[in-house]
Amino acid sequence: MTLTGHSLIAGQPVVGGGKTAFGFNPATNGQLDPAYSLITGEQLTTATSAAAAAYPSFSTLAPAAHAAFLDAIADNIEAIGDELITRAGQETGLPAARLTGERARTTGQLRLFANVVRQGDFRGVRIDPALPERTPMPRADIRQRQIPLGPVAVFGASNFPLAFSTAGGDTASALAAGCPVVFKAHNAHPGTSELVGQAIAKAVKDHGLHPGVFSLIYGPGASIGQALVADPAIKAVGFTGSQAAGIALMRTAAARPEPIPVYAEMSSLNPVFVFDGALSGSAEQIDALAQQYVTAVTGSSGQLCTSPGLLFAPAGELGDKLAAAVGRAISACAGQTMLTEGIAGSWNAGAEALGSADGVTVVGQGTQGPTENAPAPTIFGTQVRDFVTNHVLHQEIFGAASLVIRYSSTAELLEAIGRLEGQLTASLQLTEADYPTAAPLIPALEQKVGRIIVNGWPTGVEVGHAMVHGGPFPATSDTRTTSVGTLAINRFLRPVAYQNLPQELLPAALQDTNPWQLNRRIDGSVVAADAEVSA
């Protein structure tokens, strides 16, 4: 596929009227061609207006055609082949194996949502048939369904050039809901974004959909990104990135004449709690636990939103053995190239601030990697009393760094949990003997995280029906939602009730004949798709 270096607005390449920008290879800091032209505010309006024009037809698309469109996007992405993996690797420094897996996750998400569309339960059909003979007052016929919010702005993530970017989870769930998408590419991987954008645009065209269903734009976040959120045609926002950027978008959305929801996934420390039982085995078992922790910290150079930034280990001999094993494991690690020069610089600043904080020591450190943007991974250590009193120890370091915190009692753990901000995950390493000690932590953690894990690690988020990838602020902007899994579609829907409408005026999803073959809740009971509502 040919890279044009231009935005793709309603199916057409558009030469931006603003400045130009390049992608860079973080392994060399070398500039990558082509130059990408950045759009103006007027050109942005063309994209959002096209999305608004596409909404009436796309939001009412029949399930079979809608699902086939999502499947086609997945097929088109796979058809790009090695070119996509190569370009993504050049722009991010991520290894081919990681990117190949991420591509599979991206296409898997799309096909999962295609099945959700076919099955149709997300439409939330509820029917309370009329009860004209009810006393003392009759009941009207009332029917409810979920409808798409409208055009959605989606922002690409730096750390997932595929699974959380152009056709990633936010785009896939918004399109599955029936919402046109205006996607703002992340400037760190513009070529990757364009390749995937072309695959989506091809699916739009091949399936005869309105071209405004999808647009891909390039522009500065401080101007074009903010203008996109402020545009009156946009009805919701999906974002994955820094807390500062996410909050800036939230403020813009809240200040609009018509405020809109921003579903932002931002920062998380993902604490891990290790109990005595998990350390009471052999030295080899302790070494294995330490290696698992270090692998979770250093994987993808620690640039995962679920990387464990905190590990609570017991005081005393067992905790000492774990800390020593962690030190040995991390010392064998070399730094990996980070996504951008700027991200590597932020990691260095964060690690320096943490390392110089009172009560903090170095548990172990690896070696500088082969490139300038591959800092040595580092594990720091402190005591729980220092953690609960020093806010610096609560700051996320995006990259391969983590903090081991030594504790002496459940009471100390509960105090530490109480001081935590909202997180995506919390993990417990334990045996059955630890259940009584761990039990009081569960209700406390429920108030702080979106996912609780036992004897596992938070990295590697399964994409399925039960997954929650969310949590209280500042992990996300809306603690009620998830950005991964089929429940993510709910973010882009709202309920509408229809009272006493004749059959001829009802949407297909609510008609007695049930032409879309949906499961429905009738008078409070779930009724299978092949049943009809009596007149």
The Cα 329–Cα 284 span in angstroms is: 12
- The rounded radius of gyration (Å) of the Cα atoms in the chain is 25
399 φ/ψ sector (left φ>0, alpha ψ -120 to 50, else beta):
left
Contacts of 495 (CB under 8 A, 6+ apart): 124, 144, 145, 146, 147
Q: Answer yes or no: are the C-beta atoms of 144 and 457 closer than 8 Å.
A: no
How far is it, in rounded angstroms, from Cα 83 to Cα 378?
A: 34
Three-state secondary structure of 47-77: HHHHHHHHHHHHCCCCHHHHHHHHHHHHHHH
Write out the two tokens for 355: 């390392």
Whether the Cβ atoms of residue 144 and residue 129 lie closer than 8 Å to each other:
no
> 3-state SS string over 354-419?
HHCCCCCEEEEECECCCCCCCCCCEEEEEEHHHHHHCHHHHCCCCCCEEEEEEECCHHHHHHHHHH
Q: Contact 151/181 with Cβ under 8 angstroms?
A: yes
Would you put residue 33 in left (φ > 0), alpha (ψ -120 to 50) or beta?
Answer: beta
- As annotated, the active-site residues are 265, 305
Start-to-end Cα distance in the chain = 55
Contact 165, 483 (CB under 8 A): no
The letter for the amino acid at 155 is: F
> Residue length, the chain?
535
Q: How many CB atoms lie within 10 A of CB 429?
A: 25
Task: List for the chain the helix, strand, coil content (%; round to 5).
Answer: 40, 20, 40
User: Measured between alpha carbons, how far is 334 from 318 in angstroms, rounded to an integer?
Assistant: 27
For 119, phi then psi, to 5°, come to -70, -40
- What single letter denotes the amino acid at residue 171? T
- The 8-class DSSP code of residue 504 comes to G
